[in-house]
Amino acid sequence: MTQLCANEELYTMLNLRNYYSDPVEIMAAVALYDKSDVILRLEQIVEKKQIYSPMANESFTIPLKLPENVTGKIVKVFLWDDALNPISNVIADLE
């Protein structure tokens, strides 16, 4: 998807790889913002997802229901470790 579509379900699929030598727990969120950078909706993986071994892959999807009006709205995807430290830059910045 290259733009937001009103009243549609946006599915964010994350494919992650553990490059560390220890297991990694992550939390992910997809947020819908207005043009003033205020969060309007937030969907997140509440439970921690653990990637068990080095170089192991993990995939999951986060759905986000878009509103009737998507003009000026932005979707961003975030990843944090188990201490809520960011482990990546904003992954998506879709208008």
Res 51: pLDDT: 73
Q: What is the pLDDT of residues 56-77, one digit of tens each?
A: 888 888 899 999 999 989 888 8
Q: What is the pLDDT of residues 16-68, one digit of tens each?
A: 888 888 888 888 888 899 989 899 988 877 666 777 688 888 888 889 999 99
Q: How far is CA 22 from the centre of its chain?
A: 23
CA distance linking residue 18 with residue 52, whole number of Å: 8
User: Which residue segments constitute the domains of the chain, with CATH numbers given?
Assistant: 9-94 (2.60.40.10)
Residue 12 has pLDDT above 80, yes or no: yes
Structure confidence at residue 92 as a pLDDT band (50, 70, 90): low
Helix (H) / strand (E) containing 8? none
